[in-house]
Structure 1
């Protein structure tokens, strides 16, 4: 029996944080008042109906480390992806330009969530997440993916050498910015990577964190808060 999968991405609106983290900051590592972050996380847990123990968070470090979780628990340390087979346990990724990658095999009852910044994407965090899901019973052809809001290629300027280096590891990611300079479109590269793995059901949120003022963007203005993208099974 296929399970119903839910995916949620937050915006800046509706929280307790003060500028420059205003208002619904869900990152606890950016210098915001811990009490405000805790209040925002409680508000998110209540809004999703999952409750305080229903969301697992990570201390993200731009790695390729995937952790399998099976129930409530503390923040997962030094990881950039999680996988679970537990219903009503949401896996959360926090971002402010990086790509949140939400994966699910509803038939097998396996979900995953990955934080794919430039370094993590280049080093294969999405591939590692799919591999971990397959170990738990998922099948690539049954996996569907949502790539959440992230900085677009038009606004992600990098040095020529960096663009070439990332393109070599993540084909399709090199692009040209709105200024005509070397840029990266990580989501385009990840889409290609997923297709190479046999995953065709991929949706991309069109929003650019740099361009959309309702979203947090580290490139637009640091320090700033973090969005959260969640996936869970009912």
Structure 2
């Protein structure tokens, strides 16, 4: 089973669940391009498959028809973006490090360099860990600027509950993206539907499962 975002209707895209997605079902004949993710704000523009090993990056953008770009996640926020009129799409892996470091701003800027307009970009936030499931410590919170305080709720014993999807949505809005959808699917709380690195770690289970999120220009 795959999930779709209404604000990306008409474009080939999908967010997977625990069940793997088939790229050919999303965009027949397309090649899926992935990067080597490192929890960074690094964004790469793609025009075809990599000639060698994939680069280290956490967001991809393209204006090449017939190409699917994607990212993998297991609690981090997958973000798919598109300017349908310009034929420019993007896919960002927004964990807390990348989100705090500017991966959303870099993705929007890279799309703009390909001809997209910020005011026309639609973005969808896929399955990610929700605030009620995401307890963090003070050291992690210190990586964020004071204006991010509204995304941290008091937790237990001096810890905090972080709203990652909310932070990502605010970052999109700051970059001029007005059309934003959040699928509001908590990966941690739905073991039957999604992989979750944090849940697997807490249960001392294998942590290798990942969701895949993809988008193409058609």
TM-score, with structure 1 as normaliser? 0.79
Alpha-carbon distance between aligned partners in 2 of 1:58 and 1:76, rounded to the nearest angstrom: 5
Tell me, yes or no, if structure 1 residue 66 matches structure 2 residue 28. Answer: no
Name the structure with the higher strand share. Answer: 2
Gaps of 5+ in 1: 14-23, 25-42
Instruction: Specify whether residues 204 and 178 from structure 1 end up closer, same or farther in structure 2 by C-alpha distance, changes over 3 A only.
Output: farther
Moved over 6 A (4+): none
How far residue 179 of structure 1 moved from its aligned partner, in angstroms, is 9.8
Structure 2 length-normalised TM = 0.85
Partner residue, 1:44: 22
Residue 227, structure 1, aligned to residue 211, structure 2: yes
Q: 1:228 to 1:44 in 2, by over 3 A?
A: same
Q: CA RMSD in A?
A: 2.3
User: Which residue of 2 is the match for residue 124 of structure 1?
Assistant: 102
- The answer on 1:6 being equivalent to 2:12 is yes
Matching of residues 153-192 of structure 1 within 5 Å: 153-166=131-144, 168=146, 170=148, 172-176=150-154, 181-192=159-170
- Structure 2 gap segments, 5+ residues each: 1-8, 202-206
SS in 2 for 1:91: strand
- Contact 1:176-1:184 within 8 A present in 2 as well: no
* 8 Å contact from structure 1 (residues 122, 169) kept in 2: no
Whole-Å separation in 1 of the counterparts to 2:10 and 2:189: 32
Alpha-carbon shift at residue 185 of structure 1 (Å): 1.0
Length, aligned pairs only: 203
